């Protein structure tokens, strides 16, 4: 009988310990539903410019942001995918690269599962003229200057102006804002910051 009691205590302890690890994992890594790309399509439809190089680092001196850049596609929910952790940012790899014509879109988290600040926590503090630096894999740095920002409802379907591949080189930074919707497991709004290419270093 004592053996059974021992077994139960050991099992409960192990399960509880595993839960602690699992919760920590969920708290510091983004949901796979948001982070994973969904289906695969043929390479012919890959619209990313073959000549553009991929961004690897992003800095926003005014906010003290220095982040690695992950390459992301579209999530299973049909949204732009997000980085797999809360410290990196995600560049929408099916669109233009920073410095190329069109708008290069970069998303970062507002907070993590424990409510702690993530990389774009203070994105809303950016004002016109603030600089954003993006370095690509060849070491070239593109300096962008913030030109404006807007606030959109998270479920908006009018995203053509953000994910456009034409026009002068611009950078778009996105993060969450507003009220948390427990049903949708998402914030109600998004802050979208626009920046124009000012200099190639």
Partner 1 sequence: MKLAYSNFALWSIVLLLTLALMTMIAIPAFAQTSTATDYTSATGTVDTTDTTTSTPGLPDTGAGGDQVMMMTALAISGVVALGGAAVLLRRYA
Which of positions 30-69 make contact with partner 1 (CB under 8 A)?
A: 30-32, 34-43, 45-47, 54
Give the residue, chosen from 49, 59, 84, 147, that forms a contact with partner 1 under the rule CB under 8 A. 84
> 114: part of which helix (H) or strand (E)?
none
Residues with Cβ within 8 Å of residue 172, at least 6 apart in sequence: 103, 104, 105, 106, 162, 192, 193, 194, 195
Which of 59-67, 125-133, 141-149, 169-177 is the region at the interface with partner 1 (rule: CB under 8 A)?
169-177
State how far the Cα of 174 lies from the Cα of 128, in Å rounded to an integer.
Answer: 16
Please state the closest distance from residue 127 (CB atom) to partner 1, in A. Answer: 20
Whether 85 and 29 have beta carbons less than 8 Å apart is answered as yes
Whether 154 and 142 have beta carbons less than 8 Å apart is answered as no
Work out whether 175 is an interface residue with partner 1 (CB under 8 A).
yes
State how far the Cα of 169 lies from the Cα of 150, in Å rounded to an integer.
Answer: 18
Which of 58-66, 125-133, 143-151, 185-193 is the region at the interface with partner 1 (rule: CB under 8 A)?
185-193
Write the binding mask 121 to 150 for partner 1: x where contact by CB under 8 A, - elsewhere.
------------------------------
State how far the Cα of 38 lies from the Cα of 75, in Å rounded to an integer.
Answer: 5
Judged by beta carbon, residue 6 or residue 129, the one nearer partner 1 is: 6
Contacts with partner 1 by CB under 8 A: the residue count is 91
Stretch 5-34 residues interacting with partner 1 (CB under 8 A):
6-7, 9-27, 29-32, 34
State how far the Cα of 191 lies from the Cα of 154, in Å rounded to an integer.
Answer: 9
Give the residue, chosen from 66, 151, 185, 196, that forms a contact with partner 1 under the rule CB under 8 A. 185
Judged by beta carbon, residue 141 or residue 159, the one nearer partner 1 is: 159
Which of 59-67, 75-83, 127-135, 142-150 is the region at the interface with partner 1 (rule: CB under 8 A)?
75-83
Give the residue, chosen from 125, 181, 199, 200, that forms a contact with partner 1 under the rule CB under 8 A. 181
State how far the Cα of 67 lies from the Cα of 57, in Å rounded to an integer.
Answer: 6
CA distances from 159 to 18, 47, 91 (A): 41, 17, 16
């Amino acid at each position: 009988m004592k053996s059974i009691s021992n077994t139960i205590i050991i099992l409960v302890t192990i399960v509880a310990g595993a839960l602690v690890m699992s919760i920590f994992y969920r708290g510091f890594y983004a949901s796979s539903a948001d982070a994973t790309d969904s289906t695969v399509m043929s390479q012919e439809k890959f619209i990313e410019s073959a000549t553009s190089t991929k961004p690897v680092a992003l800095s926003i001196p005014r906010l003290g942001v220095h982040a690695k850049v992950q390459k992301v596609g579209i999530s299973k929910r049909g949204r732009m995918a997000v980085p797999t952790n809360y410290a990196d940012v995600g560049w929408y790899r099916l669109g233009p690269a920073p410095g190329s014509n069109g708008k290069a879109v970069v998303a970062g988290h507002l907070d993590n599962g424990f409510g702690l600040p993530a990389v774009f926590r203070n994105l809303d503090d950016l004002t016109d003229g603030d600089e954003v630096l993006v370095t690509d894999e060849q070491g070239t740095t593109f300096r962008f200057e913030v030109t404006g920002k807007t606030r959109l409802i998270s479920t908006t379907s009018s995203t053509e102006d953000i994910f456009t591949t034409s026009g002068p080189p611009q950078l778009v930074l996105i993060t969450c804002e507003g009220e948390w919707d427990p049903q949708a497991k998402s914030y109600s709004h998004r802050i979208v910051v626009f920046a124009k290419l000012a200099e190639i270093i």
